[in-house]
Amino acid sequence: MFHKEGYKIIVATLLTVIIGILLAQYYIPVNWIQKTVQVVLLLLLVTVLQFFRNPKRVGALSDEHIVSPVDGKVVVIEEVYEKEYFKDQRIQVSIFMSPVNVHVTRYALSGLVKFSKYHPGKYLVAWHPKASEENERTTIVVENPVFGAVLYRQIAGALAKRIVNYAKEGMQVTQGEDAGFIKFGSRVDLFLPLDAKIHVSLNQKVKGGIDRIASK
């Protein structure tokens, strides 16, 4: 299954590839060049299809733990000062998504959306130290009775040009459900309470909606 954010791009790519293959068939007389062009076009289609895949995952719902909002690799675990919303110390856990990862963002916990804001910005590489503050990004805060307020931030990378965020203030959301999409390379930062017990380590690969990031 593919994510709805990719439908237009998938259709446009499919039509382009079909037209390109037919043109190559009729207008490129050199056989090896013709076949090379056709293979490259097919690889382009496969790349787009795999990027917009949206595997359905069913995890055990629990207010007692935070699940990973995305697929990727844990690149940051540290105590930081979160200055946009909390204005106090939090534990930051950052997950980097390469272009080959599933780019669906899922809600890390169930609860009430207290804050949702889009920030235009730059397109530094997602692992750059200033990406969290200078890149195009969205900041979302979800609150539940066990964890209180938890902030997650979708951050565009060097290749990403659009962040899709479905969270609106006042919404009741469910852990693991589709929360948005980041197109073409990115990262998500989680800002957790200081008393949260972290269950991941640096460089660990995690699956969105399934793997546990933290618990109370």
On whether both 120 and 41 belong to a single domain, the answer is no
At 69-114, the pLDDT tens digits run 999 999 999 999 999 999 999 999 999 988 788 878 999 999 999 9
Q: Is the pLDDT of residue 130 over 80?
A: no
Catalytic-residue membership of 68: no
Region 4-12 average pLDDT:
85
On whether both 103 and 208 belong to a single domain, the answer is yes
pLDDT for position 153: 94
How do strand 148-156 and strand 88-97 relate by DSSP bridges?
Answer: unpaired
Is 60 part of a structural domain of the chain? no
**Phi and psi (nearest 5°) for 40?**
-60, -40
Is 209 part of a structural domain of the chain? yes
Domain that holds residue 170: 65-215
* pLDDT interval class at 150 (50, 70, 90): very high
- Give the CATH number of the domain where residue 184 resides: 2.70.70
At 111-125, the pLDDT tens digits run 999 999 998 866 665
Task: Please tell me whether residue 12 adopts helix, strand or coil conformation.
Answer: helix
Domain count, the chain: 2
**Catalytic residue chosen out of the listed positions 132, 186, 201, 215:** 186
Region 189-216 average pLDDT:
95
Number of C-alpha atoms within 13 angstroms, CB side, residue 150?
Answer: 33
On whether both 126 and 182 belong to a single domain, the answer is yes
* pLDDT interval class at 161 (50, 70, 90): low
According to DSSP, the residues that pair with 163 across neighbouring strands are: 182
On whether both 33 and 101 belong to a single domain, the answer is no
| Reported pTM | 0.81
Tell me how crowded residue 76 is: count the other CB atoms within 10 A of its CB.
17
Angle (CA) 166 172 178, round 5°: 40
Q: Distance between CA atoms of 59 and 174, rounded to whole angstroms? A: 11
DSSP 200: -
Cα dist from 47 to 13, 26, 82, 156, whole Å: 10, 25, 36, 19
On whether both 104 and 199 belong to a single domain, the answer is yes
Is 138 part of a structural domain of the chain? yes
